[in-house]
Every structure is written in structure tokens, then in C-alpha cells.
Structure 1
């Protein structure tokens, strides 16, 4: 009896822990996509159903019946392909991202076949914007803190700062670039923003950003040198 209970518990655990593997499809907002089985029995079928978010039925095809499209925000943007199984979605929106389920019934045996397809819809990234903070040291070094960002902050975006040249202390990953720059150091730094469907970049030039800072530092240094010379002449006289 105890053994039977253990077998029952083990069976329930196995059922509850079953997971499915879904193909992943990446698309861009405003474009179109065709979703279908990756490997499918050639049919014929008696019924085809498409589900959004696995449970919400959005389309039903029955043999010798008119295709039914259910009332959802996708109703005017979906239709079934000529093969009576491929789901076509046009004018994709971000909210179309979901796990879709295709369920098909074989005409001969009534056997049900199903597959899940994960659709992720992203926007193309806009040109990054750069926020700057500049300061200077007395030793002639210009301190640059640059923050890179795009409008699509929730688009699974990654950032990299790429310097032109080898001698640099720039951080290679993340939205912030922090460097101590002086004339002769690498001048060009590019922020590259990426998401799964696009990338965009923006380049800054340290020499231009630090032009005012370095000139003011040079002026301060000149004032200090001249003051020292005049003081020395005064003492000698």
C-alpha cells in the first residue's frame, strides 16, 4: 500500500514538472511574421486552432467550415495561410510578444498534435543620447563621465563603449564611460547599443569635449609659471 502511494506521488510529480520546449522567433514592431509547426504530420486535418498566451484561442479552422477569428486586439491583423495551418500576423505590436500554441487534429485518427512558438517583438533602437559630466585636474587631465542611453529602455538593451586605439582606461561594458583624458590619449569613443533585432551607435571626441577644460588648465599653468618667475626676479633684485 505504501509502495503504491509512493508511485502515485512520483507520477504526480513527474506530470507537474513536465515542460515543453518552444521555438523562439524574433521580430520587429510594424513588420509581419508567419508562425507554423517546425515538424508536422502532413495531414490532412479536421481542425486547426491557434492560441495566444497558450490559452486564449484567437483562430479556429474546421474542415469544410469558414475560418473563425475570435474577438481580440489581433482580429484585424491575423489570417490563416493557404496551407490552412500557418498563422500570419501583420503590423506587429510589442504586446504581440507571447507564447503561441498551435493545435491540430488529424482527420484519419483524430490524434491531436501541438507545438509552442515563442514570439518576441522589439522596436528598432533609436540613436543613443549622451549625457556628459566634465571636470579637470590640476595636472592637466580632463575627467569625462559619459552616460549612454536609448529611448527603448525596456527593449533588452546592452551597451558597450568602444575606444579607437589601444591606450585607454575606458570601461568596455555598461552605459557609463569614465576616463581621465589628456592630449595624446585616444580621442574617439563610440557607444554601441544593441537589442535582439537592431543596434545603434554614437561617437564622442574627447579632444573636442575637453578643449575648454584643457585650455583653461593651460592658462592656469601659465599664470602659475609667470607668478613664480616674477617672484624669483623680485627676490633676486
Structure 2
């Protein structure tokens, strides 16, 4: 513990911060910015925030001391203490890591993200008027912990997750591909016959008289049925009277 107190009291002459992105379930390795190596009696001391993780002494053999048992399962040091590896990454591993070697400190900001699943493409509300229809296809990957997700289409007029689409071009496009990307992964989906997605979402307003026409047809059917019932009634009535 004396090495810990000594290292924390040192005045730092250099400080560099490196951004690192990791994938849930994967691993990352931080490499110290120090070019002098862990020599001349120096001690490598790694931190997660303000919590000490592990220390590596420079004497031979180099003892490795973890400050908590839970760090031993997924944390490992290498390169004589100049590198720290975290395996089986979890979302809660995100944060600031640092290593002090002599009078130098290296700092790392770890961000942990989930890998993207295959995107889903859906048709936005479609409007039809004046004999033409327009709609938009939306590409999305639902879920938390994905970070900043960007979307691209294989069409020059598309920007972001929405792809404007006119009905006149439905039959001209045999397929469309959307690609989603986040800091640790990318995923694509290709749909064929994109017009099929929007075919059932048209908002055609009912034409004038459409409802009245339906009522006329219903009235005509009802009239025929009533006439048939009257005929049957008259036949039984006449037989009962002996006509």
C-alpha cells in the first residue's frame, strides 16, 4: 500500500486522454502513453475512476497486486504493467481509466455499446392524391445501449433513416439496402419489391356516393327478399282458404 500512497502524491507532468469504444461481451486493452517503460523502480498503478484496480512493481519477478478480488476475474495486465485488458465487457464498465507510471499519467475514456441487430424497414403513412402516391420507408434498429446510430441507403437521394419514395418508382426498384452503424458495429438489410411494404398502407379517400351506392345495393337485396316472403305467404294463404 506504500506504493499506492507514493504514486498518488506524485505531480503529474503529462496527461493524455484516449477515447476507446468497446462491445458488450468483447474486450478492450488500454496501452500506457509512457515511452520509458516500467523501469527504474517505477510502479504501474491502474485506476477505474478514483478506485485502484491493480499495481505492478518493476522489480523481477514483477508482482501483480489486485486491490479487489472482483477485478481478478475480468481484468489482466501485460507488457510489464503498461497495458490493461478488460474482457467480457459490460455496460457498467464504461467510465474513465488511468495508469500512473512514475510521474506520468495516461487516461482513457471507455464507452461500451451493444452490437446492432439487423435493421427493420417499415412504411410510413402513405398519401395518395391527384392520381399519385408518395410515402417514406423508415430504417430503424430498436434497443438501448446502442449509442449514436447512423443510417444510410443505397440511393443518392436518401439521407438518414427515412427514404422518400413515389409510387411511380416502386416497380423500377428491384431492391433497397439500408445500413445502420454505431461506434462498434454495422448491420444491413436488403428488401426486394419495396412497393409491397406500402401497398397496403394507401390512404384513398372514399369517392362521393360510395356509401349511398352501398345502401342502394343493400336496399335492392332487401326488396327482393321481402317480395319472396310475400309470395310464399300468399301461396299458403290461398291453400288454406281453398282457392
TM-score for the superposition, normalised by structure 1: 0.64
CA distance in 2, matches of 1:73, 1:178: 52
Greater radius of gyration (CA): 2
Question: Per-residue deviation at 1:73?
Answer: 5.3
| Change beyond 3 A, Cα 1:62–1:20 | closer
**From 45, 61, 64, the counterpart of 2:56:** 61
CA distance in 1, matches of 2:27, 2:201: 51
**From 116, 135, 159, the counterpart of 1:172:** 159
- Gaps of at least 5 residues in structure 1 are 1-18, 106-111, 221-237
Match of 2:108 in 1: 117
Match of 2:215 in 1: none
**From 134, 140, 153, the counterpart of 1:149:** 140
Match of 2:83 in 1: 86
CA distance in 2, matches of 1:89, 1:163: 37
The alignment covers a number of residue pairs equal to 189
Question: Per-residue deviation at 1:180?
Answer: 2.8
Comparing 56-65 and 113-122, the one that deviates more: 56-65
- Gaps of at least 5 residues in structure 2 are 1-13, 208-243
- Cα RMSD (Å): 3.3
| Contact 2:34/2:101 (<8 A) preserved | no
**For 2:81, what is the secondary structure of its paired residue?**
coil
